[in-house]
Chains A and B, each alone.
Chain A
Amino acid sequence: MSKKELGLALLLIVIGGITAALNPLFLSGVNVLNMANLIGLFGVFSIGQGIIIITGGIDLSVGSMFALLGVILVDLLVNYELPWPLAVLVVLAAGLVLGLLHGLLVTRLKLQPFVVTLCGLLIYRGIARYYTQDSTTGFGYAGDSLDTLTWLASGRSFGIIPNPFLILLVVALVMAVVLHRTVFGRYLYAVGRNEEEARHSGINTDAVIIGAYLLGGSLAGLSTVLLVFYTSSVSPSSFGNFYELYAIAAAVLGGCSLRGGEGSILGIVLGTVLLQILQNLVNILGIPSSLNFAVMGGVILLGVVADQQLGRRRERIQLHRSQATAAAE
């Protein structure tokens, strides 16, 4: 665990402790499991976002992707009566295709990731609303044939543990290995830190960046399935609204720098946990829910400022130390 992650974990414990002290219901089984479910839902696509941020990019389009892919998923299952494994595969593939599109626009046409995915945000939402004529779509009477998928995406295992949380654990474990143990992960960090040098080392930097957007896209596809079964219907004008910002917030809280090259899977997961605790504490402490965003924004700002200051102090200390050793030589 790095210092950053340790600090974040500490912050989690402090905030959790205060909340629990003020209202013991915070630690009740129902509340904890409910939070775990939400953490699972938000964590999966936050990891995708984090990986893109590590390359120095950003994905603003995830929220709209949920609306578009969600509409497609419901349509495939209800109107086309596609077998559910096939429908899920189609949604995952569609996520991959959108990720590929973003990656190609960023690397081949040298467009800024912010602009590319901002356009995605507008376009996908628009298409989703047009396709459904802005009406909410749900499963209606088709629900019965979807028992397995419903259970997989929104059920509970071992009697109590929400499946989205378990899915997040699996995704986090796999992505942690990919990011921290594989050659590809090494390249991701190198490209994010110093793309010029990565190219000078003979790394196909374009392929690495496209790879990050592919991962982000497929994780967004997976999240779509989970989110659709969480709400069990999709209203295209609001489904997934602002979720890209939750993901970015989680990644930044978790230690990802928007300049790229920094961050870890553990950090991103902890960031997601912190965000959900903040959401939950607004409810459970009876803070007016209209202040929800303000609380979140305030804590993120504080966290980032503290991290910045601590980082500077560390650097100063390191500098002093290296100067001292240089002088001793």
Chain B
Amino acid sequence: MEVLLELEGIGKSYPGVRALDGVSLRLHRGEVLGLIGENGAGKSTLMKVLGGVVAPSEGRIRIAGHDRPSLTVPEATQAGIAFVHQELNLFDNLDVAGNVLFGREPVRGGPLRLLDRRAAREKVEPLLRRLGADFGPDAPLAELSIAQRQLVEIARALAAEARIIILDEPTSSLTLSETARLLAVVKELRASGTGLIYITHRLGEIMDCADRVACLRDGRMAGELRRDEIDHAAMIRLMIGRDLRALYTAPARAPAQGGLEILGLVTSAFPARQLDLHIHPGEILGLAGLVGAGRTTLARTLFGIDPPLAGSLRLDGKPLRIRSARDAVAAGLYLIPEDRKQAGLVLEMPIVENVTLASAPLYARFGLMRRGAEWQASEEQRLSLRIKAPSSGTRAGALSGGNQQKVVLGKWLSMAPRVMLFDEPTRGIDVGAKGEIYRLMRALADRGVAILMISSDMEEVLGVSDRIAVMHEGRISGTLERDAFSEQAVLRLAIGSEGAGTARKQAEGVPA
């Protein structure tokens, strides 16, 4: 079989992080290669290497008869690589034909370069027919569903005469029947000789369509499975199976009663799902789940950023109404957001103003800020959190990721936390600072704070939590006590498969 693409010993290092390490991969003509791995295993980095967005630190890429150390975006396109992303890269304001032929529009009128709409339609129509699309080239993109838009992306790849199509989590927003249709398209493409890389968390889809499976773990190739070896257990075994470093420190005292009770909460991300959860004071409750399971929306809803559709909250036994972040902050319920630079810090402001932003009135007399008091509070946080900066006057934007996160923490610690929601608290933070953040979380819990830690890092979830709740498509699919912790157990709940099937429980028509 003709080899379309060969990667050899691809490595990529970022400061302090080894994202890819000696990854080799091969893709043949007319083959579907399933690519699996946990969040953060290096799948996206590898795909960025293929797309020409990231240049690998070492290794060779052999493609279309050329052997080279890295690709640029035009080279990748030229070599016939096309992507169908989980976040679709389409233009809402154009019609289907405009999107499919973007960048290679047929023109007429010589130097005038007028758009030739008729030629465009004639080019796009057969592609859409081939994909079994139920819309025409003139349909405005804005009116299409997510599944239909995905077909537009695939049509775009076909129009570019792509020989290698990479599908990155293509079904994460599709219903069951839409998924089935997409898988049919994948098989049709394979039959016509295209090579496909299919990245997904949904192992059922891999079993359905993949000829071969490759698994990444911690930036390395963990192994491959041939068609006849592909089954659920084997794939899970490949995805996990590594020594867990000892992160866990036991709580100083047993979790108390009270804390935050979430009763029948319905978030905007999953309007058809109800959610119950209880976070006890003194415990770190890990919240695991796949990307898109609704964990961040849950945190934002609890914090009053996204309005809830239904449900109620109780804090230490008393009903709690949160209509805005102001209510949450007043109740002592704080969020350390996933997107620290957008929602956690004002990067242009110095540490001191960031630390006191949420509690500024406390440092004011007659409305005037008492700079001395605020400086002192900020310096206390800087020293106790060991923020690496010359003084509290340093701009937050000049700090490293770990130190920025400590500033966000300092903002809340200078107040009176009762419940703290950590959303991916150590994303983009180096190993040393990670340990410090974990110690801080434990110290907070021991002070009687109820802590919810959303994390996609399996090691972190298993290593730091006292209890784990797993979220799957908008509901809690199970909770695990410490003695029942295992990667298999978490993964099984996260994938939503009590043993075999994939998204079987997913109601038809409810967007995931």
Contact = CB atoms under 8 A, between A and B. Distances in A.
Interface of A: 177, 181-184, 186-187, 189-190, 193-194, 196-204, 261, 318, 322, 326
Interface stretch (B237-245, B309-317, B342-350): B342-350
Nearest to B412: A201
Interface string B335-347: 1010000111111
A92 to B, nearest CB: 21
Given A182-B368, A184-B367, A202 B346 contact: no
B326 interface: yes
B367 A202 contact: no
B368 to A, nearest CB: 5
B369 A182 contact: yes
A181 B344 contact: no
B411 interface: yes
B344 A204 contact: no
Contacts of B342: 194, 196-197
B357 interface: yes
Interface string B460-478: 0000000000000000000
B347 A194 contact: yes
Interface string B341-373: 011111111000100011011001001110000
B305 interface: yes
Name the prevailing secondary structure of the A interface residues.
helix
A37 B23 CA distance: 73
B82 interface: no
Contacts of B400: 326
Nearest to A318: B398
Contact of A186 (B337, B347, B357): B357
Contacts of B411: 201
Contacts of A177: 368
A197 B364 contact: no
List 7 tightest A-B contacts by C-beta distance, closest first.
A202-B329, A201-B358, A202-B326, A183-B360, A201-B357, A194-B346, A200-B343
B364 A182 contact: yes
Contacts of B348: 193, 261
Q: How large is the interface on B (under 10, 10 to 19, 20 to 34, 35 or more residues)?
A: 20 to 34
A91 to B, nearest CB: 26
Given A200-B325, A202-B329, A182 B346 contact: no
Contacts of B358: 201-203
Most chain A C-beta atoms within 10 Å of own C-beta, residue among B345, B360, B398, B400: B360
Contacts of A189: 346, 349
B174 interface: no
Contact of B357 (A181, A203, A322): A203
A139 B138 CA distance: 65
B159 to A, nearest CB: 36
Contacts of A326: 400
B223 to A, nearest CB: 37
A183 to B, nearest CB: 5
Contacts of B328: 202
Nearest to B330: A202
Contacts of B337: 200
Contact of A197 (B324, B345, B368): B345
Contacts of B344: 197, 200
Contacts of A184: 367
B17 to A, nearest CB: 15
Nearest to B411: A201
A183 B369 contact: yes
12 contacts: A182-B368, A182-B369, A183-B361, A183-B364, A186-B353, A194-B346, A196-B342, A198-B346, A201-B357, A201-B411, A202-B325, A202-B358
A186 B369 contact: yes
Contacts of A200: 303, 305, 325, 335, 337, 343-344
Contacts of A198: 346, 357
A289 to B, nearest CB: 41
Contacts of A201: 325, 329, 357-358, 411
Given A182-B368, A183-B367, A200-B337, 7 more contacts: A193-B349, A197-B357, A201-B325, A202-B326, A203-B357, A204-B326, A318-B398
Nearest to A178: B367
Contacts of A203: 326, 357-358
A208 to B, nearest CB: 12
Nearest to A204: B326
Contacts of B345: 194, 197
Nearest to B328: A202
Contacts of A322: 398
A184 B330 CA distance: 18
A231 B364 CA distance: 43
A182 B371 CA distance: 10
A190 B355 CA distance: 12
Interface in B453-511: none
A301 B343 CA distance: 34
Nearest to A202: B329
Contact of A190 (B325, B343, B349, B368): B349
